Amino acid sequence: MQQLTQCTATQLLTLYRSGAASPVQATEAVLQRIAELNPRLNAFCLVDEEAALQSARDSEARWQAHRNKGDDVLPLDGVPVSIKDLILTRGWPTLRGSKTVNPDQPWEVDAPVTARLREAGAVLLGKTTTPEFGCKGETNSLLTGISRNPWNLEHTPGGSSGGASAAVSAGLGPLAVGTDGAGSVRIPAAFCGNVGFKPSFGRVPAYPLSPFGSVAHLGPHGMTVEDVALMMNSISQPDARDWTSLPFDGIDYMELLDFGVRGLRVAYSPTLGYANNVHPEIAAATAQAAQHLHHLGAFVEQVDPGIDDPLDITTGLWFAGAYQVWQTLSPAQQALTDPDFAAEAALGAKLDVNALHQLNQRRGVLGSHLRQFMQRFDVILTPSTAVPAFKARPAGHSPMTSEAMLGWTPFSYPFNLSQQPAISLPCGLTSEGLPMGVQLVGPMFGDALVLQAAQALQACYPLQRPSLT
């Protein structure tokens, strides 16, 4: 049972196919592990054991019919998956990490990603923790408290998909759904030693759209690139509710994984030209990743894309979004908010229409420049974050500034502004035993290419899991 919690989604499907394990066994093992570890990790804010077990029993019946009569099974049949608590899920409250949301109301709608996972046969376990409205790169809130990193409980799992990433890392379900508005899938993936993928904007349909606008992406967490590709095949299916979504491309992301990197043009950019405080062990690990890609046959050139740090563009647009949400709250609700969110909204209130227009114009210049740069290269290689996971802290621990919010993750937010696909994958541990991540960024719409390159690079590293028991 314990071993089943350490299986990837792909491994579980292989076990189900042979009859060596069943969805019920895997789900029971994961639920038992959640009961044991979640009090320390605080990765889940809601677990629905009854619904998960019923879903697992239904899946087990489908697998039995498949073995007996050759009936078809679903792409994720019986795989345990968690949903970030920003994403609508039928029958469960979506509180968005906030005391301002009333749980006592009808919850009758699945977001597109949730609906696609149900249709694919996944076993939905529950909701994972997020900071209020996903407002920061660490996971703490007045509603759910502090979430913790499985590699060291004194440290943060990152955010805002910190609960999702901690769950996958700790064996509390092999797949999780996260959101990424400035790095919120990739940051916790790097901090927790997982794979986290931010697809091209619109590749995974969203509903309702994020109040933080077109920087906000939906993406998968998994222990392997293969698992992430498997999940992408389901969650990239179309949904008419998202008018910003891309036309369905019908790509089988699994089919293209093993093409390797021979002949690909890689721009190795250790600082993006402006990140001057990269942890030396992360810098060395990224340089080693560049060597791995070279030895695998890629043409690797150390070159920066020629952009200035767009931190003020990112946080300006983000603070404006926070203020938009703030204005929808009553004074009583505003009094219940996280001090970090309230501080972001206050900064957003200072931006006038002209300032917002200028930020969007500068964003357009950045996006155009990066799209032109990608005509010369297939992927960009950078660190995922400038630092390993730092100490977990309560909400409101520091004054809110752009630098405090995102200055330590200078490699993530540019590619939310440009909407390009980007993935973080683990590349070893620091001398203190904390995970490090490297990032691969592709051209817009080059999601399959990013996964292909990541699969090749992943083979250079052993799969490591935390020793948390």
Q: Which of 146, 9, 43, 149 is nearest to 429 (CA)?
A: 149
What are the φ and ψ backbone dihedral angles of 231, each rounded to 5 degrees? -70, -35
Task: Let me know if 184 is a catalytic residue.
Answer: yes
User: Looking at 55, 98, 169, 184, which residue is catalytic?
Assistant: 184
Predicted local distance difference test score (pLDDT) of residue 109: 98
Q: pLDDT value at position 468?
A: 85
pLDDT of residue 469: 63
Q: How far apart are CA 333 and CA 132, in angstroms?
A: 13
Low-confidence ranges of the chain (pLDDT < 50): none
82 is catalytic: no
Does the annotation mark 84 as catalytic? yes
> How confident is the model at residue 265, as a pLDDT?
98
Instruction: Pick the catalytic residue from 22, 55, 82, 84.
Output: 84
Enumerate domains of the chain plus CATH numbers.
Answer: 3-458 (3.90.1300.10)
**How much is the pTM?**
0.98
Residue 170 pLDDT: 98
- Choose the catalytic residue: 55, 160, 234, 412: 160
